Amino acid sequence: SLGAYDSYMSKEIDEQPAVLRRILKHYFPDQQLKINNQLLQQIAASDRIYIVAAGTSWHAGLVGKQLFEDLTDIPVEVQLASEFGYHLPKLSAKPFFIFLSQSGETADSRQVLVELKKLHKLTLTITNVENSTLAREADYSLALKAGPEIAVASTKAYIAQIAVEAILAKAVGENLHLTTAQSFDVQQQLSLAASAIQTLIDKKDLIEQLAATYFDNQESAFFIGRGNGYYLALEASLKLKEVSYVHSEGFAAGELKHGTIALIEQDTPVIGFVVEEKTAELTRGNIQEAASRGANTLIISTEKLQQKQDQLVIADLDEHILPIAAIVPAQLLAYYVAKKRGNNVDQPRNLAKSVTVE
């Protein structure tokens, strides 16, 4: 039930620290990482991991790419289900396929799974619905443990997907005896992420104010970043448009100047994610380029990368895990803009919770 909340979206955003703790309990009973060993061996023996998903789950897959590549040394491709199935690229010799799906019922993803089964490929579904079609039809399945997600706009399932990807990547890397995986303390990082999210949730009022000032009269916005900051920009933009109906685009910060910057007008909101050390200065430069064309810029950064003009600062976390916390201000921003406009945040127009047509 909703309790004191006005919407499931708001409730589910607030549940996120508890979701991370539940995932840790599930995957680390007695503090020992527990995942089916045959699954780990088969991923470890693969020469390429393909992550297949749609929408927000695809965005979680994009964040997963760096995690898997850095912790397992296996190359990763992240594919849109609706494109992949009908345009199968030349596959590697020993591919392993991971389906990310909150509902486990997305028709685009199911179509790919059916095609891959015909080719006798190995598949894993990571889903929030443990008896869903995709969970049943793949060779393996892992639970997201986010708890039922009722709001159409996905929030807690997105962070759960990144958390489970991180745990799985560590487990596969350890199976391969890789030191990067051995020294990656995923339990500690996910606990820290839970605290970082709680701190942001406790700053809700500030985000509500920012939503009111930045989106007072604006009908178009841009989210930019590099690396995981870019993937965060894609997800933040999707969240905003689906619940607030404000037109918005997520962009690689360096690409803005190659055309899209023409759309920046006086007071256009440009939200920049400065969350990656090696590209922080470049990203700030791109945010500045937008500001000098009149954009009203809002910067989300981290304690380590923080400058005094930044409006929202996330506690420091391993850069692979940081997106779990850094998405939260954007979820809240979308929620408050939608609420201010009187929208039905849980059931936005034209959308359904699970998309069962291709």
Contact positions vs ligand F6R (CB under 6 A): 54-57, 101-103, 106, 109, 153-154, 238, 242, 354-355
Q: How far apart are CA 343 and CA 211, in angstroms?
A: 14
Residue closest to 41 by CA, chosen among 184, 167, 177: 177
DSSP string of 153-197, one letter each residue: S-SHHHHHHHHHHHHHHHHHHHHTT-HHHHT--HHHHHHHHHHHH
Alpha carbons within 13 angstroms on the beta-carbon side of residue 303 total: 9
Nearer to ligand F6R (CB atom), residue 212 or residue 351 = 351
**In the bound complex, which residue of the shown chain has the CB atom lying closest to ligand F6R?**
55
Question: Smallest distance from the beta carbon of 235 to ligand F6R, in angstroms?
Answer: 8
Nearer to ligand F6R (CB atom), residue 7 or residue 302 = 7
271 and 300 Cβ atoms separated by less than 8 Å: yes
Question: Smallest distance from the beta carbon of 242 to ligand F6R, in angstroms?
Answer: 6
Nearer to ligand F6R (CB atom), residue 16 or residue 57 = 57
308 and 246 Cβ atoms separated by less than 8 Å: no
C-beta pairs of 352-355 under 8 Å, 24+ apart in sequence: 352/152, 353/103, 353/149, 353/150, 353/152, 354/102, 354/103, 354/105, 354/106, 355/54, 355/55, 355/106, 355/107, 355/108
CA distances from 258 to 97, 226, 253, 264 (A): 34, 15, 10, 13
Q: How far apart are CA 66 and CA 122, in angstroms?
A: 21
Nearer to ligand F6R (CB atom), residue 174 or residue 235 = 235
Question: Smallest distance from the beta carbon of 103 to ligand F6R, in angstroms?
Answer: 3
Nearer to ligand F6R (CB atom), residue 260 or residue 354 = 354
Question: Smallest distance from the beta carbon of 27 to ligand F6R, in angstroms?
Answer: 20
Question: Smallest distance from the beta carbon of 238 to ligand F6R, in angstroms?
Answer: 6
Question: Smallest distance from the beta carbon of 357 to ligand F6R, in angstroms?
Answer: 11
Nearer to ligand F6R (CB atom), residue 44 or residue 246 = 246
Nearer to ligand F6R (CB atom), residue 109 or residue 237 = 109
Question: Smallest distance from the beta carbon of 11 to ligand F6R, in angstroms?
Answer: 15
Question: Smallest distance from the beta carbon of 108 to ligand F6R, in angstroms?
Answer: 8
CA distances from 300 to 22, 63, 85, 313 (A): 27, 17, 36, 6
Nearer to ligand F6R (CB atom), residue 125 or residue 302 = 125
User: In this structure, what are the phi and psi dihedrals at residue 300, rounded to the nearest 5 degrees?
Assistant: -110, 115
- As given in the structure block, the two tokens for residue 276 are 């990656």
The gap between the terminal CA atoms of the chain, to the nearest Å, is: 32
Q: How far apart are CA 315 and CA 304, in angstroms?
A: 8
